[in-house]
Amino acid sequence: MRYSALSIFKNALGGNKDWQPVWREPEPKKKYDVIIAGGGGHGLATAYYLAHEFGVRNIGVIEKSYIGNGNIGRNTTIIRSNYLLEGNTPFYELSLKLWEGLEQDFNFNAMVSQRGVVNLVHTDGQRDAARRRGNAMRMHGVDAEYLDLKTIRDMLPFFDYSNARFPIMGGLIQRRGGTVRHDAVAWGFARGADSYGVDIIQNCEMTGVRREGSKITGVETSKGFIECDKLALSAAGHSSVVAEMAGIKLPIESHVLQAFVSEGLKPFIDTVVTYGAGHFYISQSDKGGLVFGGDIDGYNSYARRGNLATVEHVMEAGVAMIPALSRVKVLRSWGGIMDMSMDGSPIIDKAPLDNLYINAGWCYGGFKATPASGWCYAHLIAKDEPHPVAKFMRLDRFRRGYLIDERGAGAQPNLH
């Protein structure tokens, strides 16, 4: 059913009894043209675009838990395309453009809010790097603006400007960046895919892969064996686990990343801000909670909770940037499992097998990528060739030495 002002009005008059389930709860078929393993944001977006753009309809998305329980419902909701490298900028800009039209496209309110993303700078070197990044973005047709101290002060009056250890000098803003309600993205893509007949099968864990030589014939699941012509992996933090079932070893480590939400406050920050002197980023949700986070915990883990040392580190960075935060109570915190690749950039590629596809390595930046990742992965699965904006995100770049090292940290997943 399509959502519109008229449908809200009609249902209100009818006592709200006619709303349909947002997606069906089908049992798995015996065989699918494409099985997508992992019903997170990327898996669901892939199913949606495969059906919507490429006409593939016989698709099963198998999800070991429920839709929205993975990182798609755990991230800090930031979207942006303020990248420097050629391998990244066009891809993330495609994603931002898709976000801009997404709600109309899949007819679901995902609360896309282009409230801007500001990266603060605190040293001359950082200022030069921010300007360079801004210029690179503008050369790719992406919006970027350098803001001087006065403009930043007017915009963010509660920040520490007088007594800070790392004084704020200015910042780079991408005004088209912002936030999106993360779980609504999963629900919107699930609903959109379901409307084309895609089966979204929750509580169905992939436990093994059947192979005949270099061809995948199907997957073992907690609901039995399902045949498929193509298998597309999209399991985020469990990417290396599911790839191993097919006999592929990925250059990925799983790490935990935490997020925090404060008690509800009156409007305080109307944009997204990242601290340049520590790893800290913050925005305010529409309910009033401050949503913030920092760096990964730095050790391999599949546990979706973090350690207190990182909590302390994040709070310290937050208070250094906004001293008033020391008076705010944290209401909730949680962790998610990050598929950290060796260079901090993702992989959208065909595996060295006949009919296996890999979407992995999103690290802690995969939420913003969700629409473009789905689009480019669907393109790859349907046409067996990479989408032009994802052509650098190949698996063999690690062997060939063509890393996409946006941060310049080298081949160290725990440093990205």
Ligand X SMILES: Cc1cc2nc3c(=O)[nH]c(=O)nc-3n(C[C@H](O)[C@H](O)[C@H](O)COP(=O)(O)OP(=O)(O)OC[C@H]3O[C@@H](n4cnc5c(N)ncnc54)[C@H](O)[C@@H]3O)c2cc1C
Q: How far is the CB of 39 from ligand X (least distance, A)?
A: 5
By CB under 6 A, residue 168 contacts ligand X? no
Return the number of the residue (116 or 293) whose C-beta is nearest ligand X. 293
Return the number of the residue (232 or 403) whose C-beta is nearest ligand X. 232
Among 32, 34, 49, 63, binds ligand X (CB under 6 A): 63
Residues within window 293-352 making contact with ligand X, judged by CB under 6 A? 293, 336
Angle between helices 41-54 and 182-195 (to 10 degrees): 40
Single out the segment in contact with ligand X by CB under 6 A; choices: 57-65, 139-147, 156-164, 390-398.
57-65
Return the number of the residue (170 or 365) whose C-beta is nearest ligand X. 365
Contact 131, 139 (CB under 8 A): no
Return the number of the residue (152 or 243) whose C-beta is nearest ligand X. 243
Among 78, 144, 248, 321, binds ligand X (CB under 6 A): 78
Tokens representing 263? 């008690």
Q: How far is the CB of 245 from ligand X (least distance, A)?
A: 8
Tokens representing 358? 């890999």
Whole-angstrom Cα distance, residue 206 to residue 147? 49
Whole-angstrom Cα distance, residue 413 to residue 254? 9
Single out the segment in contact with ligand X by CB under 6 A; choices: 94-102, 136-144, 363-371, 403-411.
363-371
Q: How far is the CB of 61 from ligand X (least distance, A)?
A: 9
Give the distance, in angstroms, between the CA of residue 386 and the centroid of all CA atoms in the same chain.
Answer: 20
Single out the segment in contact with ligand X by CB under 6 A; choices: 21-29, 69-77, 308-316, 323-331.
69-77
Return the number of the residue (99 or 159) whose C-beta is nearest ligand X. 99
Tokens representing 138? 């503008």
Whole-angstrom Cα distance, residue 243 to residue 47? 19
Contact 145, 173 (CB under 8 A): yes
Single out the segment in contact with ligand X by CB under 6 A; choices: 16-24, 122-130, 132-140, 232-240.
232-240
Q: How far is the CB of 47 from ligand X (least distance, A)?
A: 11
Return the number of the residue (127 or 367) whose C-beta is nearest ligand X. 367
Among 187, 292, 367, 375, binds ligand X (CB under 6 A): 367
By CB under 6 A, residue 199 contacts ligand X? no
Whole-angstrom Cα distance, residue 130 to residue 108? 35
Per-residue burial over 42-67, b if 16 or more Cβ lie within 10 Å, else e, is: bbbbbbbbbbbeeebbbbbbbbbeeb
Q: How far is the CB of 300 from ligand X (least distance, A)?
A: 15
| Distance set, CA 216 to CA 355, 356, 395 (Å) | 6, 7, 19
H, E, C per residue of 161-207: CCCCCCCCCEEEEECCCEECCHHHHHHHHHHHHHHCCCEEECCCCEE
Whole-angstrom Cα distance, residue 98 to residue 6? 26
Among 160, 205, 220, 405, binds ligand X (CB under 6 A): 205
Q: Which residues sit at the interface with ligand X, rule CB under 6 A?
A: 37-43, 62-65, 69-72, 74-78, 205-206, 234-238, 242, 257-259, 293, 336, 362, 364-368
